[in-house]
A = this chain, B = another copy of it.
């Protein structure tokens, strides 16, 4: 059996095609995909044919932010049943390497992550009408929660993991640089984690407006006068750098107090900066990468509908309009999260 899928063949070369759909084995689940969000890495493959030193070597199915309905289950599947709505965890760790053994599954030495060209042959993604997944990849979402919200579990998990990496945010003053989908979800996650003051910096007015809608205490243009936050060596306790922009980073370190933490979410090529600033303020700059147990937490929060996710979903387009959807997602002034609607 075959199912339709969205392939990236290289820079600016997206094509619909068919891919095999086998029956689920004993521990597998057959899912009819409902919605799939376009992520920044999908956009990189589309716009540049890769990122950093990584290039697409063969046609690869994109997509790792998906939700769907279960069509069939293997005989050992107990976690979910036919008809359930689920969010799909796109990461599959090996369970045997030294990192898995230590409980650091997202650093698995043999990680298989949907829609990633880091390995060769690449690992195909989930932008398809139907997909077979492993039982442990499914997180049940109640039927009354929309598939659009369900498909936000994956980027939300990324941001929940970033919050975990920051240490406790309880009562802290938080700065977020960049308010695209990741910055915006981090804002919701930081608020949930007890941040008492959240300031967002972005050059785009639309992004600042979304930040305020989502509950930021303030949203400022990063090119404006920020001198009040530089007084007495800085104001913020924690920064989430979600822009991947070198200048945003340089601005942030001036606004941070000594011994504060910067969690780096944004990927942005090379950064250049004065090491003395890191040293003299004793800043801690931490990378954050994907997620581990936070996917289950994301599914829990989405299921309880305790986060105000809907303002984030700016556009939902049918799969056949994939070209328009990707171009829209690339235009940060016009869109926030763009999702594809499948079969």
Binding site for B on A (CB under 8 A): 51-52, 97-99, 101-104, 107, 109, 160, 163-165, 167-171, 192-194, 196, 232-233, 244, 258-259, 264-276, 278-289, 294, 297, 300-301
Q: Please report the C-alpha to C-alpha distance between residue A59 and residue B109 in the assembled complex, in whole angstroms.
A: 44
Question: Which of B192, B272, B289 makes the CB contact (< 8 A) with A272?
Answer: B272
A287 to B281, Cβ gap below 8 A? yes
The chain B residue sitting closest to A118, CB to CB, is B280
A289 to B282, Cβ gap below 8 A? yes
A279 to B294, Cβ gap below 8 A? no
The chain B residue sitting closest to A167, CB to CB, is B168
Given contacts A167-B168, A278-B287, contact A101 B98 (CB under 8 A): no
Given contacts A104-B103, A109-B232, contact A279 B272 (CB under 8 A): no
A269 to B275, Cβ gap below 8 A? yes
Rank and list the top 6 A-B pairs by shortest CB-CB distance, nearest first.
A103-B103, A168-B168, A279-B287, A107-B258, A278-B287, A193-B194
Minimal beta-carbon separation of A29 from chain B (angstroms) = 20
Q: How many monomers of this chain does the complex have?
A: 4
Q: Please report the C-alpha to C-alpha distance between residue A283 and residue B287 in the assembled complex, in whole angstroms.
A: 5
Minimal beta-carbon separation of A292 from chain B (angstroms) = 10
Q: Which residues of B contact A244 (CB under 8 A)?
A: 275
The chain B residue sitting closest to A171, CB to CB, is B297
Q: Which residues of B contact A97 (CB under 8 A)?
A: 232
Q: Which residues of B contact A171 (CB under 8 A)?
A: 160, 164, 294, 297
A-B contact pairs, 26 of them (CB 8 A): A101-B103, A104-B258, A104-B259, A107-B259, A107-B281, A109-B233, A164-B171, A165-B282, A168-B169, A168-B170, A192-B194, A264-B275, A264-B279, A266-B275, A267-B275, A268-B275, A269-B275, A269-B276, A270-B273, A278-B285, A278-B286, A279-B288, A281-B289, A282-B286, A282-B288, A284-B287
Q: Please report the C-alpha to C-alpha distance between residue A285 and residue B288 in the assembled complex, in whole angstroms.
A: 12
Q: Determine which residue in A52, A271, A275, A289 has the highest number of CB atoms from chain B within 10 A of its CB, and name it.
A: A275
Q: Please report the C-alpha to C-alpha distance between residue A52 and residue B278 in the assembled complex, in whole angstroms.
A: 13
A194 to B196, Cβ gap below 8 A? no
The chain B residue sitting closest to A292, CB to CB, is B102
